[in-house]
Amino acid sequence: MKLLLLFSFIACLLVAATNAASNLVCYYDSSSYTREGLGKMLTPDLEIALQFCSHLVYGYAGIRGDNYQAHSLNENLDVYKHQYAEVTALKRKYPHLKVLLSVGGDHDIDVDHPNKYIELLEGDKVKQTGFVQSVYSLVKNYGFDGLDLAYQFPRNKPRKVHGELGTAWKSLKKIFTGDFVVDPQAALHKEQFTAFVRYVKDSLRADGFLLSLTVLPNVNSTWYFDIPSLNGLVDFVNLGTFDFLTPARNPEEADFTAPLYEPESQNRQPHLNAEFQVNYWLQQGFPASKLNLGVASYGNAWKLTAETGPDGTPVVRHTVGAGPEGLQSQKPGLLSYPEVCSKLENPQNQYLKGNDSPLRRVTDPTKRYGNYAYRPVEGAVTEGIWISYDDPESASNKASYVRSKNLGGVALFDLSYDDFRGLCNGDKYPLLRAIKYRL
Ligand SMILES: *[C@@H]1O[C@H](CO)[C@@H](O)[C@H](O)[C@H]1NC(C)=O
């Protein structure tokens, strides 16, 4: 009897061990090195995270608009100040860690060549060879373990849930073919992307370098990813399952930006949630174990108006674009997790009034949609704000979801927006830790 118990105990342990998701892919945006003040993340700050990460994705390289060669977007730091070499050298201290170089990632903004990513796909072999050889050299010369393609495809067009057009518009849309046709050549670009990835993979194969894909937020996988063919070419895929709405794309309405499931009712678009995206990849036959769920370590903030009213329940109407930029993030509407947490009630702000008063925090007992926090325009408050964000608890829920679906793991975007200084409650990297403990 005792023996039987022991056996079943061991069996349980084995099951638990195989169920554990193994990937925690950490994105590292090296431009965080050059931020001012508390947002400045140096190599020793980065290093604290590495015990938790299975992969570090180093961003970002871009492509040159004239000859399509890959190059660092921050050459001064990455190359001349040796940040590439310094980071890949950390593998000696953390031998489990794989470091990949990422291309694109929405950081390669080039007003003179806005279509260069599509041009490279459409281009002849000469253009592509320029890219492939140059990116291979970067990976090889600086000691990376592989390459991540965070390819900058055209985005879904945003759509309003509320508004006079509402359902009438929706039925109109069914009559006309166009769901705002973003890319009339999408089918061709999808085919070309597969061929391109194959070419890249061929160049990396001899050295055993890894190849991963990042599906950037609002890039429609149906349009651009031939999932069955890509399966044989890539080691894993990281889904950008956040920023489904942003103040820049959806200035007049605020909503959960990274829900796990579709919030019920209210005529939302059914594909703007993690569950839909994950299921889409699985239904296309992509192995769950190679799929990583993206979690953002920052919140999206909208500016509220008096018309919004006192109720913060999403979908929130009458917003006017991005809330003020964070002191550290320096990006309108984007607040790093420590910036969000500093606005929630704490000993420093609990008695402050008006525009400095703490935000009302609304957590999600259903664990399906995520948290939000807000301060409506009323009384002495003239600067209303509404923020959708993940905290350690909701990030940990996402890790549970990953386990329940037997996915490969979580991809955190990115380390520099997590609380790497431990300003919120003393723990450094609270989001990263919460995810790691749950996986
Ligand atoms: C791509 O967009 C179409 C049209 O809006 C939508 O029906 C489809 O679900 C989207 N695919 C994914 C994977 O989001």
Give the DSSP letter string of 49-66.
HTTT-SEEEEEEEEE-TT
pLDDT per residue as tens digits for the range 313-322: 999 999 999 9
Q: Which atom of ligand 1 is nearest to the CA of 221?
A: 13
**Average of per-residue pLDDT values in the chain:** 92
Q: Which domain CATH number covers 69?
A: 3.20.20.80
Evaluate whether 386 touches 254 at the Cβ level (below 8 Å).
Answer: yes
Point out the ligand 1 atom lying closest to the alpha carbon of residue 280. 13
By most ligand atoms within 8 Å of CB, the mutation choice from 174, 216, 222 for ligand 1 is 222
95, 218, 283 from 229: Cα distances, Å: 32, 21, 14
Q: Could you tell me which residues are beta bridge partners of residue 23?
A: 409
Q: Is 279 near ligand 1, meaning CB less than 6 Å away? A: no
Q: Residue 311: its pLDDT value, please? A: 92
117: domain range? 22-296+392-438
- Atom 5 (ligand 1) nearest CA: 179
For residue 28, give the nearest of 17, 10, 38, 42 by alpha carbon.
42
| d(CA 156, ligand 1 centre) in Å | 8
Determine the Cα–Cα distance for residues 439 and 434; give it in Å rounded to an integer: 9
How high is the pLDDT of residue 66?
94
Q: What is the pLDDT of residue 429?
A: 98
222 lines ligand 1 (CB under 6 A): yes
Give domain status of residue 310, yes or no.
no
Tell me the average pLDDT across 289-308: 97
Residue 126 falls inside a structural domain? yes
CA distance 309 to 8: 57
Q: What is the mean pLDDT of residues 323-338?
A: 90
Task: Give SS3 for 143.
Answer: coil
d(Cα 34, Cα 40) in Å, to the nearest integer?
A: 6
Cis bond leading into 414, ω under 30°?
yes
- Residue 383 has which token pair? 């600067």
Asked whether residue 14 is domain-assigned, the answer is no
Q: Does the pLDDT at position 164 exceed 60? A: no
CA 271 / ligand 1 centre spacing (Å): 6
11 within domain boundaries: no
Checking if the pLDDT of 18 tops 90, the result is no
| Higher per-residue pLDDT: 178 or 124 | 124
420 closest CA partner among 76, 29, 102: 29
Spatial separation of the C-alpha atoms in residues 244 and 161, rounded to whole Å: 13
Residue 378 lies in a domain: no
Residue 74 has a CB neighbour count (10 Å cut-off) of 22
Q: How many domains does the chain have?
A: 1
Q: How far, in Å, from the CA of 55 to the mean position of ligand 1?
A: 29
What is the structure's pLDDT at 167?
A: 53
Question: In the predicted model, is pLDDT for residue 387 greater than 50?
Answer: yes
Kindly indicate the confidence band of residue 17, based on its pLDDT and cuts at 50, 70 and 90.
very low
Q: Check pocket membership of 179 for ligand 1, CB cut-off 6 A.
A: yes
Question: Is cis: bond before 315, omega within 30 of 0?
Answer: yes
Q: Residue 216's pLDDT band (boundaries 50, 70, 90)?
A: very high
Rounded to whole angstroms, the Cα distance separating 158 from 161 reads 10
Q: Is residue 10 part of a domain?
A: no
**What percentage of the chain has pLDDT greater than the value 90?**
85
Backbone angles phi, psi at 387, to 5 degrees: -125, 130
Is residue 342 predicted with pLDDT exceeding 60?
A: yes
Considering the domain boundaries, does residue 353 fall inside one? Answer: no
At 107-131, the pLDDT tens digits run 999 999 999 999 999 998 889 999 9
Q: How far is CA 322 from the centre of its chain?
A: 19
Residue 17 lies in a domain: no
Report percent pLDDT > 70 for the chain.
91
More confident residue, 124 or 276: 276
The CB of 221 under 6 Å from ligand 1? The reply is yes
What is the predicted pLDDT for the residue at 240?
98
pLDDT at 163 over 60: no
| pLDDT at position 181 | 81
Taking only the tens place, the pLDDT of each residue in 397-427 is 999 999 999 999 999 999 999 999 999 999 9
Q: Which of 86-95, 99-108, 181-190 has the lowest mean pLDDT?
A: 181-190
Mean pLDDT of the 21-38 span? 94
Average pLDDT over residues 366-383: 96
* 16: pLDDT strictly greater than 50: no
Assess whether pLDDT exceeds 60 at residue 277: yes
- Expressed in angstroms and rounded, the spacing between residue 295 Cα and the centre of ligand 1 is 20
Distance from the Cα of residue 219 to its chain's centroid: 12
Distance between Cα 272 and ligand 1 center (Å) = 9
How far is it, in rounded angstroms, from Cα 81 to Cα 84? Answer: 8
Structure tokens at 1: 């009897």
Kindly tell me if the per-residue pLDDT of 178 is higher than 70: no
Average pLDDT of span 41-68:
97
- The whole-angstrom separation of Cα 322 and Cα 300 is 8
pLDDT of 165 above 70: no
**Distance from the alpha carbon of residue 389 to the mean position of ligand 1, in angstroms:** 24
User: pLDDT at residue 358 above 70?
Assistant: yes
Could you tell me the pTM of the whole model?
0.92
Which residue owns the Cα nearest ligand 1 atom 9? 271
**117 Cα to the center of ligand 1, angstroms:** 21
